[in-house]
Amino acid sequence: MIVSPLRPDLISEVERLMALGEPFVRPRTSSDYWLYARLFSSTCPVALEGGTLAGAVIAFRSQDDPTDVYVQDVMVHPDYRRRGVARLLLDSVRTRAVGWGCHRLYLTSEPENRPAHRTWLTLGFRNAPGDRHVDGVQVLADFKGPGKDRAVYELPVSRQP
Ligand SMILES: CC(C)(COP(=O)(O)OP(=O)(O)OC[C@H]1O[C@@H](n2cnc3c(N)ncnc32)[C@H](O)[C@@H]1OP(=O)(O)O)[C@@H](O)C(=O)NCCC(=O)NCCS
């Protein structure tokens, strides 16, 4: 498995991959992916096996708090799940964040997305305190806009001393 930054020539494959993520991941437009490949590629890694796209992560360093990296999408092709692809991709983002001196990766998922919840916890993220619980998951109301309640997960990162 090779991990590399998102490139413009992979955009249509990334769109097809993201379309398989419904209902939890939805594809963005090709011009969004073009921007990610042109401006944010070092935090938008893709995983390729023999030229096939196995997974992709879209993440960005915050400008409001440059010690934060926000992970917008994590998507692994159904044929490649439970093979460590999400771990590999998030490790790549983590390494980039550590290089910048960032302190935290964070992401959100929908409370009913149990595989995602299990994945984040296994990878060392903590479910941030919310204002209610849904089946044991802490959830913050309106986190992504009105009516868009989300479970928030964060992973502290730092350079090894
Ligand atoms: C969630 C998702 C990204 C996980 O990707 P993945 O590559 O399969 O995850 P990994 O193989 O790196 O798994 C790491 C660990 O997370 C846990 N995990 C992953 N998927 C799991 C599942 N379905 N059920 C329980 N635990 C799971 C396991 O502990 C796993 O380690 P193990 O396989 O050695 O036991 C993938 O299921 C996916 O793309 N889902 C659809 C899109 C989505 O919901 N994305 C998140 C939206 S916010």
CA distances from 106 to 84, 100, 144 (A): 19, 15, 13
Residue 161, domain member (yes or no): no
Best residue among 25, 119, 153 to mutate for probing ligand 1, ranked by most atoms within 8 Å of CB: 119
Residue 150, domain member (yes or no): yes
CA-based nearest residue to 7, from 30, 38, 48: 38
Domain count along the chain: 1
Residue 123, domain member (yes or no): yes
Residue 121, domain member (yes or no): yes
Residue nearest to atom 16 of ligand 1 (CA): 119
Residue carrying structure tokens 């919310």 = 130
- What CATH number has the domain bearing residue 25? 3.40.630.30
2-24 pLDDT, tens digit per residue, is 999 999 999 999 999 999 999 99
Evaluate: CB of 119 within 6 angstroms of ligand 1.
yes
Residue 148, domain member (yes or no): yes
21-43 pLDDT, tens digit per residue, is 999 999 999 999 999 999 999 99
pTM for the model stands at 0.96
Residue 152, domain member (yes or no): yes
Note down the domain range covering 34: 2-156
Evaluate: CB of 24 within 6 angstroms of ligand 1.
yes
